């Protein structure tokens, strides 16, 4: 939906657990690919539903984060992980030249698509804000995660603050404010590069994966997040650009 009328642009960095045919050694890690280590479970379905509700353009990554993580700076240890959550990933102990070739195949096409979309909206003077959609596992070794949703941000809180406020008004919802993760230039790529570097309002939305396992759960979260964004949009988006 590249011509969506919403000011929102949706990104889904961990949408897929696919592996290129050129990397069969990674494909043998079936369990790791199916689990949260391989992708953000439910994030693609939630993103697509949000795109429809908001009439917003959406860009989805095409490959598993075990192949290359589209939300990590190239060259960082978690960009092409040799080990993920204690599981060795065969085929990821590669040279710098091999890593660059993998980025050309699996990382840059996604980010070039985002850049082209944002450039076109800038040229049309169309107001734009970045919503990056993710999901997180309910538990990690030694850590139970009580939050049903987490709102993450770096330097820019223009979207994060109203999202946190709106979600915390809902009875029974536990909402993380930059937890269990936080956005940083050293650890993230999408928000710092596509949002902050352009001066666009931007936020990373994390939904706990057990809330996205059913169609009903996806629909409930999509309706909730879409309603909040419409309220924010109606109140004005400082710095979103436009004519």
Mean pLDDT by 10 residues, the chain (243 residues): 92 96 79 90 99 98 97 96 87 94 98 98 96 94 89 97 97 95 94 98 98 98 98 86 61
Task: Write the CA distances from 42 to 14, 95, 128, 226, 242, integer angstroms.
Answer: 10, 33, 25, 16, 32
Query: What is the structure's pLDDT at 140?
Result: 80
Query: What is the structure's pLDDT at 243?
Result: 46
Architecture of domain 8-235: 3-Layer(aba) Sandwich (3.40)
Residue 10 near residue 16 (C-beta atoms within 8 A): no
Which backbone phi and psi does 197 adopt, to 5 degrees? -65, -25
CA distance 14 to 161: 24
Domain residue ranges in the chain: 8-235
Query: What is the structure's pLDDT at 142?
Result: 75
Query: What is the structure's pLDDT at 231?
Result: 96
User: What does the pLDDT look like over 95-123, one tens digit per residue?
Assistant: 999 999 999 999 999 999 999 999 999 99
Query: What is the structure's pLDDT at 144?
Result: 85
β-pair type (58-60, 8-12) = parallel
What does R_g of the chain's alpha carbons equal in angstroms? 17
- Output the pTM of the full model: 0.95
Query: What is the structure's pLDDT at 241?
Result: 75
229 membership: H or E segment, kind and range: helix 215-235
């Amino acid at each position: 939906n590249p011509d969506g009328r919403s000011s929102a642009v949706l990104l889904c960095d961990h949408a897929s657990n696919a592996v290129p045919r050129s990397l069969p050694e990674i494909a043998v890690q079936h369990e790791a690919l199916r689990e949260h280590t391989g992708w953000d479970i439910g994030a693609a379905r939630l993103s697509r539903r949000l795109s429809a509700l908001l009439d917003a353009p959406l860009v989805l990554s095409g490959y598993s984060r075990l192949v290359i993580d589209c939300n990590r700076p190239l060259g960082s240890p978690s960009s092409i992980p040799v080990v993920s959550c204690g599981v060795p990933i065969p085929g990821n102990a590669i040279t710098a030249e091999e890593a660059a070739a993998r980025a050309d195949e699996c990382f840059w096409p996604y980010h070039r698509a985002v850049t082209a979309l944002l450039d076109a909206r800038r040229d049309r003077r169309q107001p734009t804000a970045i919503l990056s959609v993710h999901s997180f596992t309910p538990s990690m070794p030694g850590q139970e995660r009580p939050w049903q949703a987490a709102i993450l941000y770096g330097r820019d809180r223009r979207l994060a603050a109203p999202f946190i406020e709106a979600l915390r008004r809902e009875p029974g919802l536990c909402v993380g404010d930059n937890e269990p993760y936080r956005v940083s230039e050293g650890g993230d790529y999408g928000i710092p590069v596509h949002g902050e570097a352009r001066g666009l309002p931007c936020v990373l939305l994390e939904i706990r994966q057990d809330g996205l396992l059913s169609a009903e759960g996806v629909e409930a979260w999509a309706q909730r997040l879409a309603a909040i964004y419409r309220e924010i949009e109606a109140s004005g988006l400082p710095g979103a650009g436009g004519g």
